[in-house]
Amino acid sequence: MPIEYFADRARSTLAVACAASDTTLTVTTPAQEFPASLPYRLICGTEIMRVTARAGNVLTVTRGIEGTTAAAHAAGAVVSHGVTAGALNDMRADITAGQGVPVGGTTGQALVKTGPADYATGWGTVASGGGGTIETYGIVFTGAGNVALRGDGAIVTKRR
């Protein structure tokens, strides 16, 4: 499953009625109330939907997910974003499968953040005897046991 996104207390109402076969919903309040990134889930009545695209207040959805049934909804029906059992089960499955967690690595390697993106991590090796370094976000670890903190262009070195 792709990474799913969440927001607190996000809700709106339908601006127009929708049929059970519709794949777009138009909401009354700005869609910015909902998570900025996609996908995320919406609940309307007893139906759970996955939002896959957004253009202004028009949301493209996959209807009737998690065993719910796509249904017609009247204008003014409350549409809310929420954490569902399916979302939690998908996260658990991703964690169990190791999604986003590098696998492998060998003795002597360290897991380091390699960039600003989520899950931007990888294995780095620090040679024993002071031969190598790992730098991650301004902190440099060396095989000699030194840690250098970079800040405002200066390097402060601390020996362990």
Cα–chain center distance at 155 = 33
Instruction: Render pLDDT for 78-133 as a digit per residue (tens, 0 to 9).
Output: 999 989 999 888 888 877 776 666 677 777 777 777 777 666 777 776 555 555 55
Q: What is the mean pLDDT of residues 36-50?
A: 94
d(CA 157, CA 145): 10
42 or 96: which carries more pLDDT confidence?
Answer: 42
Kindly state the average pLDDT of the residues 33-61: 93
Please tell me the pTM assigned to this model: 0.63
pLDDT surpassing 50 at residue 155: no
